[in-house]
Structure 1
Amino acid sequence: MSPERLNERLRKTLSRGRVAETRPAGCPDIPLYLFDPAVLEGPLSHDEAQAVVAEPAYWSFCWASGQVLAQWILEHPDIVRGKVVLDFGTGSGVVAVAAALAGAARVIACDLDPAALDAAAANAELNGVVLEFFEDWNRRPEDIDLVTAADVLYDPENRPLLEVFRAAAPEVLLADSRVRNLGNDRYEKQAVIEARTWPDLNEFEEFNRVRIYRVKAGG
């Protein structure tokens, strides 16, 4: 998957958009193709701003929770080693790539957005790892050992995903910066780590504080 394919995807949202290889500060060992802020030499036009709001290219940024979860996996490889891992809402694919680098037996990147799957494929190739890709969560394999997810609870209507994940696999590893209290005792807080979206979107400071949660097998 070439970066030019990602540029084509990005230009559907932002006509002057392009990606560039970069290393997010929160997980510097994983290079990624992400939005190149150098193209924004001036403010967005009205039409550009409307396009970005209507069809945001989430996959072209590495969000704080994704960076933190990816780095956590690299520092705790025993969590994924030898396991079948499904990364839900994979976006840029950073968490899926980290799981593969850390020794997972099989890593599945799942995202509704075909452009995100293209990004995950390009970033997997950039890091020399192999991923599988699924657009439909409901058609996922049945032998999943671990579900990973980062920043998927931004909408209150997504809260039921907590139990959906638990039903899908014996273990869950979740990172979130939007919800202070999950309201689910099965999810044990592992750490709170500071990070910023890359490239930086100057979000509220509260969204730079990432909480990692884990549901262990039998929990």
Structure 2
Amino acid sequence: MTEAFVAAHTVVSSAAIVPEIPLYLATEVTPLWQATEDFLSRHNMPPPYWAFAWPGSQALARLVLDTPGMVEGKRVLDFAAGGGLAGIACALRGAAHVETAEIDPMAAVVTRMNAALSGVSVEAGARDVVGEAGRWEVVMAGDVFYEAPMTNHILPWLTALAEEGVEVLVADPGRAYLPRDRLVPLGMHLVPTLLDLENQRERIVTLYRLAASR
């Protein structure tokens, strides 16, 4: 039922700067929100953020596709993964194991559907993994510092992972709560965006490595 709903309300297309990876994506914001309001409320699910390739996930996927050595043979977590774009890029570039984490069960379903389009497999979870550790060598976090409660929840955990030697890669399109003092810039991408989502038609996304606090 969920898979059929996704297929009916999206089209198979690709993100603006990651044409190599097909995804189930919404072409407009308002029609999808209207179509999903009743379905999602009846299933106690959040809004369909999984239906859009957010700028941070696009930048991370582009980074991985262009520099596969960052993930090849490694255990990777795509945190707050949405539809799993960055994680799928890792699987395509030879990661030993790819896990995606989202609190929305629908996002996990869509991630598996998206991965199938590329002929790869990812472990798509639907729970809060903050506080967990010990099984990843690379953690990717795209566009996660958009509000204070979220930043306060995840930053100590991400910093602790970095202190343990995990490569924590962050992609941010200029959100207000980005912890700039702990980030080492790696590069930038100009990413086209939907006006209804971002209030502008493009964003500059900066890629960072999160440094340990000590």
> What is the TM-score of this pair, normalised by structure 1?
0.79
Is 1:176 paired with 2:167? no
Deviation of 1:75 after TM superposition, in Å, equals: 0.5
Aligned CA-pair RMSD = 3.1
Partner of 1:208: 203
The residue type equivalent to 2:113 in the other structure is: A
State how far apart, in whole Å, the 2-side matches of 1:110 and 1:130 are: 14
User: Per the alignment, in what secondary structure is the counterpart of residue 19 of structure 2?
Assistant: coil
1:146 to 138, 145, 168: 138
Q: What SS class does the counterpart of residue 213 from structure 1 fall into?
A: strand
More strand by share: 2
Aligned residues: 203
CA 1:66–1:18 in 2, change beyond 3 Å: closer, same or farther? same
Corresponding letter in the other structure for 1:191: G
Calculate the TM-score normalised by the size of structure 2: 0.81
- Whole-Å Cα distance in 2 between the matches of residues 141 and 180 of structure 1? 27
Q: 4+ residue runs of structure 1 moved beyond 4 angstroms?
A: 138-141, 216-219
Please give the alpha-carbon distance, in whole angstroms, between the structure 1 residues aligned to 2:132 and 2:213: 22
Distance 1:159 1:202, change over 3 A: closer
User: What is the rounded CA distance, in whole Å, between the counterparts of 2:187 and 2:199 in structure 1?
Assistant: 20
Percent same amino acid at aligned positions? 32
Which amino acid is the alignment partner of residue 5 of structure 1?
A: T
String of CA shifts for 1:119-154, please: whole Å, max 9, x gaps: 100001110111112223158562211110111111
| 8 Å Cα contact 2:78-2:99 kept in structure 1 | yes
Deviation (angstroms), 1:167 = 1.7
Q: Which residue of 2 aligns with 1:167?
A: 160
Alignment match of 2:118 (pick from 124, 127, 131): 127
| CA drift at 1:162 | 2.7
Unmatched runs of 5 consecutive residues or more in structure 2: none
**Any stretches of 5+ residues in structure 1 without a counterpart?**
11-16
Specify the alignment match of 2:147 in structure 1: 155
